[in-house]
Structure 1
Amino acid sequence: MTSPNDDRDRFDWRAAEADLAADADVVDLDAARLRRSPGAADGGQGSHFDLPLDEQPSPGGVLVDPPVSKSSRQAPIVPTWLSGWHNLRHAAKHAAKVTGYRAGFHALRSPWYAVQAGFWATVGVFRLSGRLLRWWWVLEQHSLRQHAADANDPQMWLKLHREAKSTRAWRAFVLIAAAVTVLCGGPLAYALAPWWTVVIVVVAAVAGLAHIGRPADRPIITPATVAGRFRRINPDIVLRAYYAAGLGHPDKPHQRVEFGSTMARDASGTGSQVSIDLPYGKTFDDAVKARGAIASGLDVAISQVFITRDPTSHRRHTLWVADKDPLAQGAGRTPLLKCKPTDIWQPAPFGLDERGNKVSIELMWSSILIGAQPRQGKTFAARLLALYAALDPYVKLTVLDGGGKPDWRKFALVADRCAFGLAMTRDGDPAEIVLEALREIKADVQDRYERLSKLPVDVCPEGKLTRAIARDPKYRMPVRMVVLDEFQEYFDLGEISKEIAALFVYLVKVAPAAGVMFVDATQRPSGIGAGQVAQQFISFRDNHQVRFSLRTGSWQVSDLVLGSGAYSEGFDSSTLLPSYKGVGILRGASDATPTVRTYLADADDAEKILIAARKLREVAGTLTGMAAGEDIARASRDVLADVRAMFETGERGMQWEDLADRLAGRLPEHYADITAESISAQVRAFGVRSVDVKRSGKALKGAKVEDIDTAIARRQTG
């Protein structure tokens, strides 16, 4: 397995060399089962764990345990890389690349190599001299003589002493002869031998002395490539991991871990997989909880171990071990950059799973919840789905961003309704725009259900929206998508939040079946607000069918995003690393729950796609609402709600004159000609008292905010 800390920005020459290497040894599952301990007569597996670490996995979908007969275990005569002109040419091409890269890498650093070699060769002269002196003096015998002295054995001591004197004399003769040879033969060889011979001898001598002189952890020549750490997974290693995790016992009957399939490389060549049968009584949930221990037993990172449920048995699952961290590599740019029309009735491309398979999401009839900590890619993931809907010219978009980030601003090119942030804009109060948009969507949903029920069966089978109905303008029922980012902000706006929250809950429950989908993102899945609004937040959050959780702060928060029970099934987004931007767990979109690396669409990509989407809508004649420049006026007005919205945070009262000015300035479509007297009369009609309100030391008649709240509450309960 490769370490997640390897240098991914550098060209992977080790992978090139792997194509040149001979076929690796394989381990047969049947043979592994035959290697058992002497006392395991009942079929227990033995162990052979002392296998070396390999530099890189063999490429391709090759069986780790090929189904060969036990009587025929010869390796192929011709290696795979030499079998056929295509393989030979491919191997030669990679060999040339490897050689060229290494030559250039070391040629650039050769002057520094020479400086280091000269320095450490000098050190090596002294170290070699010290070694020779210790060898001459027979220091290895010193401990034996000391032992004889301690044991008061003079005979043994004298015998060792005479042996040491004899050995020193012989070794002294050898050293003197070597010194004379070097001192006399060196100048003679230098004078008579060809220059290239002298160069070779000097280089060899310097290299040898430098090797002796340098510290063990200070190589002079740095490697041209960075090799990842790869462990070949075989049956014994898997068994060791499962037994170490407490999922069985090799020496107890009916407690052994068995294999339900041959261990094999997957088709993509990025990992190994095998079907595991746990002992009776052990479950898939036990394996999921022990995932960390299994990773430790396999000696890999937990991000490389994936356990998938087998529908045939609750004690069986598939273990897949990636060669290197599959989540540390991005999925690449979104295919939507082709700017071709999409079809909302087809799945939207979302990213790649841990095994490199494409992951798509069915948007029709769905509501999608996206949750994460800040700056983990939550908005990018939601925007990716919104961009897909934008490229379908027959989808009516509503984009509401409670955070007011720039990520969504360009959606004004295509959105029927849009609101960004909570501050007042030229388009009006964003909270009012949100409220009016939700009221309009609710009325549309109710109208759709009534009209669908009246359509003929041949046009509308089962009373459900169809693609033909949605794209036929005469029915006025286009597919709609509502995108809410940082939707928690809309639950904390005071009185207006009560109606917004109620509309959210109603729509997320009812609207998808009428062809109105929701894509909702938040960094506060735990909730916000108090009382009824807080309860409605929870109800809104829990009524999403599809969940996508990027990194969260704890498993409890992960469970809030992914849904109750996700953690017990082994899905915990808090275990994702902070460096995994745009990586999350997708639950509810299919039977599987993959960890997805979402495609990337940055601000420039989004703008390009939205410009193309606007052109598609202009051609199809489906550009509506604010994107078409229409003045979105409210169908009706709510005097009490409008007056309540005029109060700023902390204001306890407001004079009628000030109230009239604010209404005329912020809601001119309904209150352009309003006066202090008329708004006073309209508000007092709801039972609100006209009281003295001071402003700048002057008291004039007006209304208090608590009286307005009391009147609204009385109207709702009545």
Structure 2
Amino acid sequence: MTAVADWTPPPEVDAHDPMIREVELGQAVTVDAEQVEVEAYRQGGPIDADRSKEPRYAVITGLAEQDRAPIIPAWMRNRSQRWRVPLATAGFALYVLAFHLLRLPKYMVLGAAYAPRGGWRLGAALLSWLWVTEQLPLRLRAVQRLDTETWIKLHKEVHGSRKRHAWIVAGGLVAVVVVLALGWRVGGAAALWLSVLAALAGAARAGAPVDRPLIDRVTTSSRFTRLTAEAVRLALVQLAIPGLREPAALTFPPPGIHRDGPGWLARVNLPGGVTAVKVLERREELSSALRLPMDQIWPAVGPAHAGQLDLWVGNKPASQMGNPRWSVLNGKPLSFFEPAPFAFTPRTDPAQTVLFQRNFLLGGQPGSGKSFAARGLATIALLDPLCEVQVAEFKGVGDFLDLEPLCSRYVVGTDDQAFDDGADMVRWLFGEVGRRGAVIKAMREQGRAPEGKVTPELAAIKGLGLHPLVVVLDEIHELLAERPEVADMLTRIIKRGRALAVVLVLATQIPDAKTIPSGLTKSVSSRWCFSVLEQVANDQILGTGSYKRGQTGTVYRPVVDAGWGYAKGFTAEDGPVRSPWLTPEQWAAVTAVASALRGGRRVGADDGPVAGEVFRRDLIEDALAVVGQANGSHWLGLVEGLAALDAESYGDLDPESVGAMLRALGVETGDVKVSGVTRKGVKRRALEAARERRAVTAGAR
């Protein structure tokens, strides 16, 4: 230990630093010398290090560590926008060309009518400029006041101006004659006629009335064309957010304001202490400040920090934007376990979600597009050949009737029979979740499901009853009002079914706590709020506080904005999206593809879980018993041997299912040579190796 008074600063410490001098003068404290040195640096050292003595190369190369603006624009780096932007520009240019070509005869007639008046106006203006007629009142006033000196001065000035103007006019006329002569020599009469037409067009434009222009406007309404820094700064300052008063305090980091899809994106750094959420809470005021509809401006928190705002403004309101082509119309199969497009963002980019481990709540007013959105999610499930789909709709109008041939169970109606069938469906589903839970538990104990979840490989095993299951309950509030006892079962299904490949899609008009228990809605991970009237209904769908964070469906109108809503928990980024809006012909094409993928059968209707007893047996040991002392077995021989060993457990399995089950247990499969014939199958040493690994793992536990 060293007394403070005896301590001397190290060489690298400034001995004249006031904090160090205070230590030197002595305090009645005895501390460790190293601690005093650290505290001296901590209390009295400079905040910013002095870099003046650093090697020059360190300063120069430090520039390489800074963020640089991208060489290629953002829209060119985006795969979906790379062609969309130039195609949209070319399409608009062709539209303008066709628009004016069709009206060319009208322009010619109006031009012939307005050209004489325009020529007179242009000639009068030229003569007025040549003769400097605007000075005439000044000279007349000088004459009236008998101000000879002023008159002489004005006369000299106007005489000089007229001379200069005359030379300019003469030079212009000579230039026109030379150009016409050159045009005649190069292009002949065509060039001369083009010059005449250009002159007539100019004269016609000059002679056209102010309120009746010569050329019609392509757009008939005001159209937002560009987002500017001045407009953004003014609008944000007008929000009157504490700490946001000076426009100069708002900066635009790279890439600043730029084109982003069918609109503009402004990335703004707000003043210190001001968060982007404050702007989101004042979205209505922002709409007023920018003088744009609310569904045309989409503020969001920027990627860098909480004080960065991403303000995207569309070329036109989202409710007026067309719906792009849904990629499922390509006819390709989808997967329950992989991302699939379910909607479109305001930028018309596809928004993707994964059905596995999610449940969905869709809410909004009548006519807001809930049923179409639920159909979209059901369609994704139908395009997975392994996925079973069940539908119960309690509107009673058959919104899902065209999907009925593909559903293992379909309920429609508003009578007691429909409600009884719906309640029976929920009870069956509750029991199915329990059965699947027991299966997964047994598989986990045997090392077949390490995470206790259904995997794509396990779902593909035919007869195990672990295939994906999607249940759509449209107008769920009607069922809960008539059969309230099913609410608790639905809540438990939602909580337990995520890992068991069981998904619920709930659609409702009335998301209040009296109709749908809060425990049920809070258990749903993915929510989609369509058109709602007020904040309470919005927060009942999306969660408390969502409206204040700018997550709202109150900006949409039923029917007019049908399909638009705010999606939360579907993807990594929450935001407004629009569900696909297909024609009846397109729906028919999609269902035809789904039917072809499923071989025309209803998945789940005749796929009862025949493997319930399989888990009482050890598949590896049974396979070794079938193989015996041989090198291995082909799949067909192994299936026949297992069926002979236990027909009740293995009788309905096919070679593909047995192979998938063995691979799930860690058994390597491949080509096997048996009796001189090489085919796909399993080798005995692979089965023995898997058995040994399982024994080691069990011993370690």
**What is the alpha-carbon distance in structure 2 between the residues aligned to residue 132 and residue 209 of structure 1?**
13
State the alpha-carbon separation in 2 of the partners of residues 590 and 93 from structure 1. 29
Quick check: 1:393 aligned with 2:411? no
Unpaired stretches in structure 2, ≥5 consecutive residues: 1-67, 72-85, 163-183, 609-701
The 2-side partners of 1:94 and 1:421 are apart by 46
Task: Report if aligned partners of 2:389, 2:603 keep a CA contact under 8 Å in 1.
Answer: no
CA contact (8 A) 1:331 1:351 kept: no
Counterpart for residue 486 of structure 1: 475
Matching residue's letter, 1:263: G
Aligned to 1:543: 523
Q: Secondary structure at the match of 2:216?
A: coil
CA pair 106-305 structure 1, distance change in 2 beyond 3 A: closer
Distance 1:337 1:218 in 2: 47
Which whole-Å CA distance do the structure 1 matches of 2:189 and 2:336 have between them?
A: 78
The CA distance in 2 between the partners of 1:624 and 1:195, in whole Å, is: 82
Q: Counterpart of 1:385 in 2: which secondary structure?
A: helix
1:366 CA displacement:
1.5
Cross-structure match for 2:511: 525
In the alignment, which of 422, 430, 433 is matched to residue 414 of structure 2?
422
Which letter does structure 2 place at the counterpart of 1:433? D
Other structure's SS at 1:599 match: coil
Q: Does 1:374 align with 2:366?
A: yes
- For residues 486 and 562 of structure 2, what CA distance do their matches in structure 1 show? 32
Match of residue 439, structure 1, among 427, 430, 437: 427
Secondary structure of the residue aligned to 2:425 is helix
Residue deviations 1:242-276 (CA, integer Å, cap 9, x gap):
333334778889x93345545264676853342x4
Q: CA deviation at 1:361?
A: 1.4
Inter-partner Cα distance in structure 2 for 1:418 and 1:98? 47
Deviation, structure 1 residue 445: 1.8
**Aligned counterparts of 1:93 and 1:411: Cα–Cα separation in 2:** 36
Give the secondary-structure state (helix, strand or coil) at the position aligned to 2:249.
coil
1:583-621 deviations in Å (ceiling 9; x for gaps): 221102234212223333333333333333334334788
Supply the distance in 2 between the matched residues of 1:266 and 1:125 (Cα, whole angstroms).
43
Equivalent-residue separation in structure 1 for 2:255 and 2:100 (angstroms): 44
What is aligned with 2:437?
449
* Residue of 544, 559, 564 corresponding to 2:539: 559
Residue in 2 that maps onto 1:271: 264
Give secondary structure in 2 for the equivalent of 1:622. Answer: coil
Q: Which residue of 2 aligns with 1:113?
A: 107
Match of 1:518, as an amino acid?
A: L
Instruction: Determine if the alignment matches structure 1 residue 233 to structure 2 residue 228.
Output: yes
Give the aligned partner of residue 611 of structure 1: 592
- Residue 288 of structure 1, aligned match among 277, 280, 283: 280
* Letter in structure 2 aligned against 1:231: R
Higher relative contact order (CA 8 A, sep 6+): 1
Q: What aligned pairs does 1:95-244 form with structure 2 within 5 A after superposition?
A: 105-121=99-115, 207=201, 210-222=204-216, 229-231=224-226, 233-234=228-229, 238-244=232-238
Alpha-carbon distance in structure 2 between the residues aligned to 1:548 and 1:524: 13
The 1-side partners of 2:412 and 2:591 are apart by: 17
Q: 486, 510, 514: which one pairs with 2:500?
A: 514
Note if contact 1:491-1:537 (Cα within 8 Å) is conserved in structure 2. no
**Alpha-carbon displacement from aligned partner over 1:308-346 (angstroms, at most 9, x marks no partner):** 335764333444445555664334232222333322112
CA distance in 1 between counterparts of 2:593 and 2:215 reads: 54
Is the Cα contact below 8 Å between 2:362 and 2:370 reproduced in 1? yes
Pair 302,134 (structure 1): closer, same or farther in 2 beyond 3 Å: same
CA distance in 1, matches of 2:603, 2:88: 53
Query: For the Cα contact (< 8 Å) 1:327–1:597, is it kept in 2?
Result: no
> What are the superposed Cα offsets for residues 369-402 of structure 1, whole Å, 9 maximum, x if unpaired?
1122333322111101101111223222210111
Given candidates 568, 571, 574, the residue that maps to 2:554 is 574
How many pairs are equivalent?
506
Q: 1:577 to 1:230 in 2, by over 3 A?
A: farther
Q: Distance in 2 between matches of 1:521 and 1:212?
A: 62
AA partner of residue 442 (structure 2): K
Give the stretch that moved more between structures: 295-304 or 574-583: 295-304
Task: Pick closer, same or farther for the CA change 1:103–1:517 going to 2, 3 Å.
Answer: closer
Whether contact under 8 Å (1:548, 1:584) holds in the other structure is yes
- The whole-number CA distance in structure 2 between the counterparts of 1:616 and 1:604 is 19
**What is the SS of the residue equivalent to 1:573?**
coil
1:474 and 1:99 map into 2 onto residues whose CA distance is 59
Compute the RMSD of aligned alpha carbons: 5.1
Distance in structure 2 (CA, Å) of the matches to 1:437 and 1:95: 53
Q: Conserved in 1, the CA contact under 8 Å of 2:530 and 2:553?
A: yes
Deviation of the 1:135 alpha carbon: 11
Judge which range, 323-332 or 93-102, deviates more: 93-102
| SS class of match (1:475) | coil
Change (3 A) 1:270 1:566: same
Deviation at 1:518, TM superposition (A): 0.7
| Structure 1 residue 552, shift from structure 2 partner | 2.3
1:329 aligns with 2:324: no
Structure 2 distance, partners of 1:223, 1:214, is 15
CA drift of 1:519 comes to 0.8
Distance in 2 of aligned mates of 1:95 and 1:389: 37
**What is the letter of the counterpart of residue 113 of structure 1?**
Y
Indicate the residue corresponding to 2:178 in structure 1: none
Report what 1:12 is aligned to.
none
Matches of 1:122 and 1:312, distance apart in 2: 62
- Residue 638 of structure 2 corresponds to none
Question: Which residue is 1:645 aligned to?
Answer: none
Segments of structure 1 that go 5 or more residues without pairing to the other structure are 1-64, 69-91, 172-192, 528-533, 629-718
CA drift at 1:453:
2.7
- Taking structure 1 as reference, are residues 542 and 386 closer, same or farther at Cα in structure 2, changes over 3 Å only? same
Give the superposition deviation at 1:571.
1.2
- Report what 2:682 is aligned to: none
Cα pair 2:300 2:309 within 8 Å, conserved = yes
- Supply the AA of the counterpart residue of 2:498: P
Which residue pairs with 2:37 in the alignment?
Answer: none
Could you say which residue in structure 1 is the equivalent of 2:565? 584
Equivalent in the alignment of 1:596: 577
Secondary structure at 2:547 match in 1: coil
User: Do 2:423 and 2:486's aligned partners in 1 also have CA atoms closer than 8 Å?
Assistant: yes
For 2:440 and 2:196, the matched residues in 1 are separated by 93
Specify the alignment match of 2:694 in structure 1.
none
Residues 1:401 and 1:215: Cα distance change in structure 2 (over 3 Å): same
Structure 1 equivalent of residue 459 of structure 2 = 470
- Normalising by structure 1, we get a TM-score of 0.58
Q: Deviations over 1:522-569 (max 9, x none)?
A: 222246xxxxxx354444334321011223223332222222111121
| Other structure's SS at 1:560 match | helix
| Contact 1:350-1:598 at 8 Å conserved across structures | yes
Deviates more, 1:304-313 or 1:357-366: 304-313
Q: Deviations over 1:476-507 (max 9, x none)?
A: 33321110112222234xxx423344444443
Task: Give SS of 1:512's match.
Answer: helix
Identity of aligned residues (%): 26
Checking the alignment, whether the CA contact within 8 Å between 1:381 and 1:598 is kept in structure 2 is yes
One-letter code aligned to 1:116: L
